Amino acid sequence: MAPAATPKTPVRQAITGVVPPSLGEARIREAFPSLMGVAAAPAALARTLNKTYFLAPLGWLIQAPLFALKFAPMVCRRYTLTNRRLMIQRGWKPAPAQEVPLSEIDDVRIGPGGVDSFYLCGDLEVISRGQVVLRLAAVPEPEGFRHAVLNAVHAWVPQKAKGGPWIAASADVEGKA
């Protein structure tokens, strides 16, 4: 009989799931655009119809194919934040269509349209060197995604980290170890 296979030793990590960019790319957050990002005009019409009592079922009928289109193989789109970059991916097997490295991101702001109160989505603009380099349309819960991007930039790009110097946990009140 053949000897039993020995299990592989797992990689030890200080925090499960946290991978430094030097070792590999790890997904931090991913979001699919809301229905406003799939087809804005029909989604706006459905929003208007859903606010009425009698025409709401018609609004639901308009939203159903839009929801299916949201995940259609050729037009499927998602916004992916990793420990190295922020990108727009297309297709079921995601392939980056546009991307910007975290090191080039200066700020992320909510677009001029603000947050849509019905779909709870908004456009995000990624700023680099004073210009918009990437526009993410109809991001669900845009404020949370915006903070995730900014936190990733501050965590993984040492030059853009905010805060004072690092102080050891064993330091006393005066900051001496």
pTM of the predicted model, to two decimals?
A: 0.77
pLDDT of residue 170: 57
pLDDT at 103: 94
Q: What is the pLDDT of residue 167?
A: 53
Q: Would you identify the CATH topology of the domain 27-33+73-159?
A: PH-domain like (2.30.29)
Is the torsion defined by CA of 149, 155, 158, 162 positive or negative?
positive
| Tens of pLDDT, residue by residue, the chain (177 residues) | 555 554 555 555 556 557 777 788 889 999 999 888 888 888 889 899 999 989 999 999 999 988 888 888 777 889 999 999 999 999 878 889 999 999 999 999 999 888 988 888 999 999 999 999 999 999 999 999 999 999 999 888 888 777 655 555 555 555 555
Residue 36: the pLDDT is 86
Domain positions in the chain are 27-33+73-159
List residues bridging with 80 in a β-sheet.
Answer: 30, 87
pLDDT on residue 20? 77
Phi, psi torsion values for 3, nearest 5 degrees = -65, 150
